[in-house]
Amino acid sequence: MCKKPTLDEVEELFNFLQGQDFKSITKIDKPNLTADQAFSVIYVLQEGLGIIPDTYEKCSKCDTLFDSDSGGDNSESLIDVFIEAYGEDNNVKIPDKLWDTIRHKKGLPFEHYCEGCRDTNASILQDKVNSIIEKELSDYPKKTEGEQDDR
C-alpha cells in the first residue's frame, strides 16, 4: 500500500495541473487547466480511485485547498440555510412545491469554504436564499413565534 498524500502534496498536484512544476519533475509536458478542471482531476482521484482523502476540498470562494476534517464542517448548502431561516418541522409547514424550488436551485451545489472565507460564507448563501425568496416565495410565511394563520 502506498501512503495517502498529504494536503501539501495534493496542493502541489493541484498547482501542477495548472501549469507549475511538480517538485523536481520539470522536463515533462505540463497541463494548463483552470482551477475547476484541476480539482476535477483531484476529485476523480478521491471519489473514483480512492487515492486522495476525500476530506480535501477546494474553497468555493478563493480556490485554495483545505482539509475539511480539521476545523469543523466547512460546507453549507442552500437547503441548510433555508432550514435555518424557516425551520424544518416548526409550526410553519413548508409546502412541497417550495422545497422543489429550493432543491432545483441547488445547482448552487454544496459549497465549501476554507477557514479564511468561512465568515463570508453564511452571508453569501443567505443572500442567495433571500433573492430566491423575494422572487418566488414571497407568499409563504416566514417562521414566526406564536400565532398561526390557517387560512
Chain residues that interact with Zn ion, rule: CB under 5 A: 59, 61-62, 114, 117
Report the nearest approach of Zn ion to the CB of residue 114 (Å).
4
Between 56 and 86, name the residue whose CB sits nearer to Zn ion. Answer: 56
Closest CA to 79 of 106, 45, 47: 106
Between 57 and 86, name the residue whose CB sits nearer to Zn ion. Answer: 57
- CA 27, 28, 33 angle in degrees (round to 5)? 135
Report the nearest approach of Zn ion to the CB of residue 28 (Å).
30
Here the cell at position 36 is 475547476
Report the nearest approach of Zn ion to the CB of residue 108 (Å).
17
Between 31 and 116, name the residue whose CB sits nearer to Zn ion. Answer: 116
Q: Give the C-alpha separation, 143 to 91, whole Å.
A: 7
Residue labelled with grid coordinates 459549497: 111
Alpha-helical regions (H) of 1-149: 7-16, 35-43, 78-86, 96-104, 118-136
Report the nearest approach of Zn ion to the CB of residue 36 (Å).
14
Between 13 and 114, name the residue whose CB sits nearer to Zn ion. Answer: 114
